[in-house]
Structure 1
Amino acid sequence: MEFREKPMQNLIRIKEKEICKNVQALLLDGESIVGAYKTVRDQAVFTSHRIFMVDMQGVTGTRQEIFVLPYRKIVHFGIQTAGFGDPLQTSELTVCYADEHEMKFGFIGQEELLAVAQAISRCIL
């Protein structure tokens, strides 16, 4: 997955039943889903404790590479909301980790962005 080089853009919310079954199997007791999103093929699932990033591979997407990124390792994060006249009304979340890498997630609209930012805040403050 190229999440270290480029952001996951134009994330669209999906229903919990559409989340990759392997991610569902990795959820812990008491861990709840804050939001699940997808690009054309890949998924980003934000829970009450961590981020799952799923890289769907192959023609059918049955081969998956899953990255699990705990909120407790986040040093800081930032948000950029959409401005007036932005064609897609995209907002962006940048998450920075102690090992100095950062990840960017582009959301359409800002309601989804703010819900995810609140979940991260609850875990890192």
Structure 2
Amino acid sequence: MGLFSGLLGNATTVDSDTLRQQLAPILAETETIEIGFQLIRDQFVFTNRRLILIDKQGLTGKKTEYLSVIYRAITRFSVETAGHFDLDADLKIWVSGAAEPIVRSLHGGDNVTAIQQALATAVLSTR
């Protein structure tokens, strides 16, 4: 990940081998990583079975939340892209059984559309 992109919060792709080593303890035996994105410390990981949203918390980033969303549970999603004066982009994912969407903020960059494409591919392939 480029330093400038990281400081701006632009999502960049992460090497699948690196993610596989990092997530080995939580991946199922038959689960494979399709693509992953890094946004400063947070990550979006698309496997063949689920979306894993990784949220590193605190100053050191040792406290980490791993939110797993099974693709077939996603009822809808939206991506609001950044504008000229508003540099934030928002990803919203509605999951069956939950009233409020899961919301993640992005900060522009070309990979906002790549994240949307990966999500659409994963969700639509389970239908």
TM-score normalised over the length of structure 2: 0.66
Change (3 A) 1:63 1:80: closer
The match for 1:120 among 119, 123, 126 is 123
Change (3 A) 1:93 1:61: closer
Flag the structure with more relative contact order, 1 or 2, with Cα contacts below 8 A and sequence separation at least 6. Answer: 1
Number of aligned residue pairs: give it: 114
Change (3 A) 1:20 1:60: farther
Change (3 A) 1:10 1:104: farther
In structure 2, the residue matched to 1:101 is: 100
Query: C-alpha displacement at 1:82, in angstroms?
Result: 7.6
Letter in 2 for 1:49: R
2:46, 2:118 within 8 Å by CA — same for their partners in 1? no
Provide structure 2 residue ranges, at least 5 long, that are not aligned to the other structure: 1-8
Deviation string, structure 1 residues 35-56 (Cα, Å, up to 9, x no partner): 2111111112111211111121
Moved more, 41-50 or 69-78: 69-78
Provide structure 1 residue ranges, at least 5 long, that are not aligned to the other structure: 1-8
Query: C-alpha displacement at 1:20, in angstroms?
Result: 7.9
Q: CA RMSD in A?
A: 3.1
Deviation string, structure 1 residues 32-89 (Cα, Å, up to 9, x no partner): 2222111111112111211111121344323322111211211123455788x7997x
Residues in 1 aligned to 2:101 and 2:29: alpha-carbon distance in whole angstroms: 28
1:34, 1:119 within 8 Å by CA — same for their partners in 2? no
Letter in 2 for 1:60: T
- What is the percentage of aligned positions where both structures have the same residue? 25
In structure 2, the residue matched to 1:35 is: 35
More helix, by proportion: 2
Deviation string, structure 1 residues 12-37 (Cα, Å, up to 9, x no partner): 21112443856332111222222211
- Within 5 Å, give how 1:85-100 maps onto structure 2: 93-98=91-96, 99-100=98-99
In structure 1, the residue matched to 2:64 is: 64
Change (3 A) 1:10 1:102: farther
